[in-house]
Amino acid sequence: MWAEKPQLVEPAILISLLLLVLAIALSFWFAARLMKPIRELMPTVDSEGHLEFRSTKVAVKTPEELKAVTIAIDQIAEKQRRDEAARRKLERVRSEFLANVSHELRTPIFAVQGFIETLLDGAVDDPAVNRDFLRRARGQAERLNNLLNDLIDISRIESGEMRMSFRMFDIHPFLRDFTNEMRPMALAKTMDLEFKSKVQPKDEVSVYADKERLKQVLINLVDNAIKYSESGSLIRIELLEGEPTTRELTVRVVDQGIGIAPEHLPRLFERFYRVDKGRARSSPGGTGLGLAIVKHITEAHHGTISVRSELGHGSTFQFTLRKEPF
């Protein structure tokens, strides 16, 4: 009987050993399964010292609790990627802007310097050119002043510093008065400016806007219409009902000028974008910022702006205004 005992002990030890190995293997497997996603979740620090979260694609196979954590971390990683892309874009835009500003400032400064130096070199005593050079220098100083004003405006709008003073007011007398104020500018170039309303009733049609800023938009558009039209042409400010489902009105500035080729239209409202660089720069006051400011102001009024144009046949700039507070 006693002789059979060792035969029973041996399989028991063997089974225990097997179970032990299995337990160790299982715990390794479980630990590895648990650690893999945790390791992948661990943020790293990149060469610039930024904490970087990686995407956790393995998360789907992990236990429920970890899945929730991985989803949260995925969201942080995604947000971090978006923030980083936005930061890089902002940096690029800022340095492009700075390069444009320096370039734009340099042109009139060099021109003024050139005129003064020529005058000092003797032209001041030449009655045939001295007044002309002084007039040109004054024109460039004016350009510089316009550029600085536009730059201040655009940076105040973009940084949110420009305070708008919205109120309800009657748009018809506003546009009529504006047209009368601007007509002499058109007449001086042997053009005409008129106002036409297609909105009923004519007696009281209110809009919600900032009068000063709205005037700035219209001055820019009418000024461009005059600048890019030939003498004898007519410029019209029109007021129309907006789309039927919206509580909006549409204002149009229509000219019969040189028009704009279709390839330029998508970029027209960008800062410093000019269609014909030589022509626009030589025209007094052109900064290439006017339409960018117009777009910003329209958007601050919760409106939209667009342009239709045909080369040689004129352009129509139109924007929307709200009939009630937003």
| Min separation Cβ 171 and ligand ADP, Å | 22
Options 134-142, 178-186, 191-199, 217-225: segment touching ligand ADP (CB under 6 A): 217-225
Among 164, 155, 104, which residue's Cα sits nearest to residue 326?
Answer: 164
What letter does residue 272 receive in the DSSP assignment?
T
- Applying the rule CB under 6 A, the residues between 97 and 126 that interact with ligand ADP are none
- Applying the rule CB under 6 A, the residues between 253 and 272 that interact with ligand ADP are 255, 257-258, 260, 268
Closest CB to ligand ADP among residues 74, 276: 276
| Min separation Cβ 201 and ligand ADP, Å | 31
Q: Does 228 help bind ligand ADP (rule: CB under 6 A)? A: yes
Instruction: Please identify which residue in 77, 225, 239, 251 interacts with ligand ADP, judged by CB under 6 A.
Output: 225
Q: Does 249 help bind ligand ADP (rule: CB under 6 A)? A: no
Q: Tell me whether residue 228 is exposed, middle or buried, using C-beta atoms within 10 angstroms of its C-beta: 0 to 12, 13 to 18, 19 or more.
A: buried
Question: Do 72 and 56 touch, CB atoms closer than 8 A?
Answer: no
Instruction: Please identify which residue in 136, 183, 189, 274 interacts with ligand ADP, judged by CB under 6 A.
Output: 274
Among 315, 317, 139, 108, which residue's Cα sits nearest to residue 228?
Answer: 315
Strand partners for 321: 249
For tokens 């102001």, name the residue: 297
Q: Does 287 help bind ligand ADP (rule: CB under 6 A)? A: yes
- Applying the rule CB under 6 A, the residues between 297 and 316 that interact with ligand ADP are 315
User: How do beta strands 167-170 and 248-254 pair?
Assistant: unpaired
Closest CB to ligand ADP among residues 40, 276: 276
| Min separation Cβ 55 and ligand ADP, Å | 42
Instruction: Please identify which residue in 291, 297, 305, 321 interacts with ligand ADP, judged by CB under 6 A.
Output: 291
CB-CB neighbours of 82 under 10 Å: 10
CA 190/CA 230 separation, integer angstroms: 9
Q: Does 280 help bind ligand ADP (rule: CB under 6 A)? A: yes
CA 317/CA 150 separation, integer angstroms: 20
Strand partners for 192: 234
Closest CB to ligand ADP among residues 67, 308: 308
- Applying the rule CB under 6 A, the residues between 184 and 213 that interact with ligand ADP are none
Instruction: Please identify which residue in 288, 298, 319, 320 interacts with ligand ADP, judged by CB under 6 A.
Output: 288
- Report the residue closest to ligand ADP, judged by CB: 290
Which alpha helices (DSSP H) does the chain contain, by range? 5-41, 64-120, 130-158, 171-188, 211-227, 277-282, 290-300
Identity of the amino acid at 4: E
Strand partners for 52: 44
Residues forming contacts to ligand ADP in the complex (CB under 6 A) are 220, 224-225, 228, 255, 257-258, 260, 268, 273-276, 280, 286-291, 315
